[in-house]
Amino acid sequence: MSDLDEITKKIASVFENSSDNQEAWNTAMALFKENELVILNSPMKKLSDLSYHQFETLKDDPFDLTSVIKIKRLPVSMYKNYPLYVQMKALLDLISEHTALKLTTTGAIPPRYVKELHAMGRFNIAYFGMDKENIKKEADSETVQIARTILEDNGYIRYRNNTLSVTYKYKQMKEEGEEAIFKELINATLTSTVWAEYDSYYDEDIAQEGVGFSLYLLHKFGKRKRSTKYYADAFFDAFDPESRLENAFEFPNNLSEDELKQIYMSYLFELYNAYLVRTFDRMFNYMGLITLEPIMQSLEFKIKATDAFYDLIAIESKEEIG
């Protein structure tokens, strides 16, 4: 039995053996304070063997210096293994070549460039028919739209007078070399709010909030094929969906228990779908971090981390993580 198990057992026994709730609470809090460092730094099953402290750091800032996740330094020759990065870099190069890239009357990237950019990336296997031959305009290619949005939202390109141009911020970054560009764009992709911009799920934060934990789960479990449900269950063990539901809605007082249960199950179904679509169907897929394999007669997929993922993402040693 671990130290954390022993402490948890002691705290539970305090409430079991006391008839005075206030006294039991005071005793339990004293035990917690006495063992706070052990509690906060011990691996927890519901956090997939992260400690509470590691999980909170990962949740608040996945790329903090104290985070268990590290982005590795790669040779430039390996950048081609990350399709969404390739598309963003190609779009930056295209705009730079034109000084100001003239857009269509609707403010979109011209179709001839969209076809080229789309062919560099991956497509979402849920969108049948969206291969390069069927791409006619920017709105047809989710990856091109996402690439453009990330660059605009992070201040690397600017839309003005129906043109796109690179910013001073990007020019400065370019002077530091492609290694700096790669690092910044990967970080921008993983922390961008773009994750929720291409669907209508109610919860706008889920998936992008918790991306560090998803990277950790993929690193821990991704060497063999597993269902997307496996990852969703592990994710929502840590990110309690019930608390999200309580914060999302105000419920009338006259709802029956069955009605509340039905609402909860519907919300949970949507929350799971939002997480899976945004994390796996979309962002990790487009970045080249996973392979997806449809599960017959199911909305789920089997996924596996790519070599490119393990080339890019490192996790602290097993001894440091549970």
Residues 76-112: tens digit of each pLDDT:
999 999 999 999 999 999 999 999 999 999 999 999 9
Record the pTM: 0.82
Residues 38-50: tens digit of each pLDDT:
455 555 677 888 8
- Give the C-alpha separation, 310 to 17, whole Å: 49
- Give the C-alpha separation, 252 to 192, whole Å: 35
Q: Confidence class of residue 223 from pLDDT cuts 50, 70 and 90?
A: very high
Residue 183: the pLDDT is 95
Phi-psi region of 204 (alpha: psi -120 to 50; beta: other; left: phi over 0): alpha
Dihedral of alpha carbons 217, 223, 228, 234, sign: negative
Q: Say if residues 228 and 279 touch (Cβ distance below 8 Å).
A: no
Q: What is the DSSP string of 204-272?
A: SSBTTBTHHHHHHHHHHHTTS-EEHHHHHHHHHHHS-HHHHHHHH----TT--HHHHHHHHHHHHHHHH
Residue 322: the pLDDT is 39
For residue 83, give the amino acid letter. P
**Which two tokens mark 218?**
């993929």
**Which two tokens mark 18?**
């006391």
The mean of the pLDDT values for the chain is 84
**Which two tokens mark 140?**
């047809």
Q: Say if residues 188 and 157 touch (Cβ distance below 8 Å).
A: no
| Pairing mode, strands 313-315 and 157-160 | unpaired
**Which two tokens mark 175?**
């002077």
DSSP 8-state code for residue 282: I
Share of the chain above pLDDT 70, in %: 78
- Give the C-alpha separation, 266 to 273, whole Å: 11
- Give the C-alpha separation, 223 to 249, whole Å: 38
Other C-beta atoms closer than 10 Å to the C-beta of 204 total 14
Residue 93: the pLDDT is 97
Residues 244-288: tens digit of each pLDDT:
666 666 666 777 878 777 877 888 888 899 999 999 999 999 999
User: How far from each other are the two terminal CA atoms of the chain, in whole angstroms?
Assistant: 14
Residues 170-199: tens digit of each pLDDT:
999 999 999 999 999 999 999 888 888 888
Q: What average pLDDT score do residues 190-218 get? A: 89
Residues 53-67: tens digit of each pLDDT:
888 888 888 988 889
Q: Say if residues 194 and 282 touch (Cβ distance below 8 Å).
A: no
